Structure 1
Amino acid sequence: MSQAFASFREFYPYYLSEHSNQTCRRLHFVGSCIVLGFVAAAIVTLNAWWLLAALFSGYAFAWVGHFFFEKNKPATFKYPFYSFAGDWVMFKDMLTGRIRL
């Protein structure tokens, strides 16, 4: 049964618990870096196909991390909006050293 969250602040600890495996977190980090690169390429080249590549690569790296290393289903399936925000907050937390990369 899905847990209900009243806010992102409530959701984020759950999100982090679903990313306890270091390899999974690293794959999320790499995928997010590639997403940023592809979004930049879309802006520079004015070619929207890069946005499709960004979407595919971001989810591909994350889902490999979940299915093969974390051994759970991505939170995206139950909480798509909070999960998307969680990806970027976790990325920032890894960049700043709050979460071990």
Structure 2
Amino acid sequence: MERRFATYDEFWPHYLREHARPATRWVHLVGTVIAIGLLLWGALVGPLWLLVAVPVAGYAFAWGSHMLVERNRPATFTYPVWSLRSDFRMAWLMATGRLGAELRRAGL
């Protein structure tokens, strides 16, 4: 049975453990960067239909990494908002070189 989380602070270490392999985290980062790029390009330059590709790009990379690399079920299905928040948080921590400390706190 899947554990349920009452708060985001409880969920975050679980999210990191579900992204234990570096390849999973890097594929997530690539998808996040592409999604943000599509969002900005579509909103600022156009065409607006690019906005439809934003979630497709982001989730395709994330879900693909869970199926092919991590071999687990994406947290998106159970915790969609916390999962999206965590994806951006993880990407930011990777970009700023601070993810290692978070991984250690999560037992990785």
Q: Same fold by TM-score, threshold 0.5 exceeded?
A: yes
TM-superposed CA distance for 1:45, in Å, is: 2.5
1:41 is matched with which residue?
Answer: 41
Structure 1 runs of 4+ with >4 Å offset: none
**1:19-34 alignment runs, 5 A limit:** 19-34=19-34
Q: Percent identity?
A: 41
**1:35-74 alignment runs, 5 A limit:** 35-74=35-74
TM-superposed CA distance for 1:4, in Å, is: 2.1
Mean Cα displacement is larger for which, 26-35 or 91-100? Answer: 91-100
TM-superposed CA distance for 1:77, in Å, is: 1.1
Q: Is the 8 A contact 1:42 1:51 kept in 2?
A: yes
Q: Is the 8 A contact 1:2 1:78 kept in 2?
A: no
1:9 is matched with which residue?
Answer: 9
1:82 is matched with which residue?
Answer: 82
**Structure 1 length normalisation: TM-score?**
0.91
Mean Cα displacement is larger for which, 78-87 or 11-20? Answer: 78-87
Aligned partner of residue 99 in structure 2, secondary structure:
coil
Structure 1 Cα separation of the partners of residues 4 and 72 of structure 2: 19
Q: Deviations over 1:44-100 (max 9, x none)?
A: 125331121111000011111100000101111111111111111111111111225
Structure 2 Cα separation of the partners of residues 85 and 12 of structure 1: 10
Aligned partner of residue 47 in structure 1, secondary structure:
coil
Aligned partner of residue 2 in structure 2, secondary structure:
coil
Aligned residues between the structures? 100
Structure 2 Cα separation of the partners of residues 48 and 10 of structure 1: 37
**Structure 2 length normalisation: TM-score?**
0.86
Return 5+ residue gaps in structure 1 as ranges: none
